[in-house]
Amino acid sequence: MTIKPQILSCFLTVLVLSGCGSAASSGTTESEFDADAQLAYCADQTSKALKTIPDNGEIPRNIPPGLKQWNQVDYKDWTSGFWPGELWYLYEATGGKKWERNADKYTAYLKPLSVSPAIDHDLGFQVFNSYGNGFRLTRNPEYKDVLLKTADTLATLFNPKVGTILSWPREVPNMEWPQHNTIMDNMINLELLFWASKNGGSRSLYDMAVSHATVTMKNHFRPDYSSYHAVVYDKETGKRIKAVTHQGYSDSSMWARGQSWAIYGYTMVYRETKDPVFLDFAHKVTKVYLDRLPKDLIPYWDFDDPAIPNAPRDASAAAVVASALLELSTYTQDDDLAKQYVDKAVGMLSELSKNYQSRDKNTALLLHSTGHKPAGSEIDYSIIYADYYYVEALLRYKKLKEGQKKLLTYKSR
Ligand code: GLY
């Protein structure tokens, strides 16, 4: 049988278009992705959660596979800011007073963090996601006060001899305490320092954040720009002692969420500093992640786990990266690259919305995140930070579509 050239050419065109033009393996294009419908789903699920979680002063953190009830934690837990942050985003998305009331209620649980000694670096995750979003949306001066005090508390962990913020001021396996440790996740906490330095806090907070990002850039990455999870420094000389993993598969592997923090973190540091060195770096740490993703754009928990494809996924890393890519696309002069970032982000969100939603299974937004695999903890769970970044990414996408180049950041006001 011979195939007519016109038919062959048509077939090839369809093949090429379906390969390049689609946002993901699912083939959802930008115009087909309905962020409003997804946000409605998020509001509906979270309304159900609000009706079922015990009102006991604690904050939802995770739901194990097959179960329906959220496990809750107190305000000291590193994840305590994500739930109030998600409620603030739903308030932003809907304007509904119910969301504002509940966001304010859960945000208030975190207030002691602003006046207690720092027990670790996560203060940015905790207080910027809760109070930071609350202040951005309401301008409540009490929220501002908590933010400024917490930034000063976080700054007590900065070691000028090393040039970074200490992540864990205590004995943690393999960290050679009392030497100085810094983990990749710590990049996210810098946003609180940048904000404080521009809103009445000391200029030194800005300098600390820039120093942290610069020293981390030098010591925390391999030649291919994949990241080590943790670096241990000599606390007196600042010399790097070793680069190791804590939550990843091995010291030489690329832990998915660690790399997602790098992508999100350097994008944010560029936003706050406008230093092109950080923008260039954000592109580089993004490239290695995108190049190595599976076809459906949702990473396995660690890119180098030999059990792949039978290894757990990490929906949380996908949500973090989707949100970061939308922001990074707005700083990119190269239109093709910007489009590629948006297409990938839409592909990730689309895949999450089609194959990772909790719907009837529980009241979280997403299934299949991995918390700490080497410790056997939170494997294939619904985890609150996946939900937080999912809603953030949906809101960012909506703003992008509405033509706002500045997304969900203080700079947009
Ligand atoms: N900050 C801890 C984590 O990403 O699991």
Instruction: State residue 403's pLDDT score.
Output: 83
For residue 404, name the pLDDT band (cuts at 50, 70, 90). Answer: confident
CA dihedral 379, 383, 389, 391 (to 10 degrees): 130
Q: Provide the token pair at 169.
A: 């001021």
CA dihedral 213, 214, 220, 221 (to 10 degrees): 110
Backbone angles phi, psi at 105, to 5 degrees: -60, -50
For residue range 136-183, what is the model confidence (pLDDT) as tens digits? Answer: 999 999 999 999 999 999 999 999 999 999 999 999 999 999 999 999
| 326 secondary structure, DSSP code | H
% of the chain exceeding 90 in pLDDT: 89
> 82-94 and 384-401 helices cross at what angle (nearest 10)?
30
Nearest CA to 393 out of 11, 38, 13 is that of 38
For residue range 249-268, what is the model confidence (pLDDT) as tens digits? Answer: 999 999 999 999 999 999 99
- Ligand 1 centroid to residue 380 C-alpha, Å: 15
- Ligand 1 centroid to residue 258 C-alpha, Å: 8
Do the Cβ atoms of 179 and 170 come closer than 8 Å?
no
Do the Cβ atoms of 82 and 73 come closer than 8 Å?
no
Nearest CA to 133 out of 77, 198, 192 is that of 192
For residue range 80-117, what is the model confidence (pLDDT) as tens digits? Answer: 999 999 999 999 999 999 999 999 999 999 999 999 99
Instruction: State residue 27's pLDDT score.
Output: 56
Do the Cβ atoms of 357 and 318 come closer than 8 Å?
no
Q: Provide the token pair at 261.
A: 């923090």
52-55, Cβ contacts within 8 angstroms, sequence gap of 24 or more: 52/363
For residue 42, name the pLDDT band (cuts at 50, 70, 90). Answer: very high
Instruction: State residue 31's pLDDT score.
Output: 65
Which of 77, 128, 185, 314 for mutating ligand 1's site (highest number of atoms within 8 Å of CB)? 185
Assess whether 44 carries a catalytic annotation.
no
String of DSSP letters for 155-183? HTTEETTTTEE-S--S--TTS-TTSEEEE
Residues with CB under 6 A from ligand 1: 78, 185, 247, 257, 371
d(CA 232, CA 72): 32
Which of 257, 314, 321, 378 for mutating ligand 1's site (highest number of atoms within 8 Å of CB)? 257
Q: Which atom of ligand 1 is nearest to the CA of 258?
A: 4
d(CA 326, CA 396): 7
For residue 10, name the pLDDT band (cuts at 50, 70, 90). Answer: very low
For residue range 241-252, what is the model confidence (pLDDT) as tens digits? Answer: 999 999 999 999
Assess whether 185 carries a catalytic annotation.
yes
For residue range 279-331, what is the model confidence (pLDDT) as tens digits? Answer: 999 999 999 999 999 999 999 999 999 999 999 999 999 999 999 999 999 99
Per annotation, catalytic residue among 36, 74, 120, 122 = 122
Residues 6-14 have a mean pLDDT of 34
d(CA 255, CA 245): 8
Domains of the chain: 5-401 (1.50.10.10)
Do the Cβ atoms of 42 and 390 come closer than 8 Å?
yes
Nearest C-alpha to atom 1 of ligand 1 is from which residue?
185
For residue 11, name the pLDDT band (cuts at 50, 70, 90). Answer: very low
Q: Is 259 helix (H, G, I), strand (E, B) or coil?
A: helix
Quick check: pTM over 0.85? Answer: yes
Nearest CA to 299 out of 257, 270, 327 is that of 257
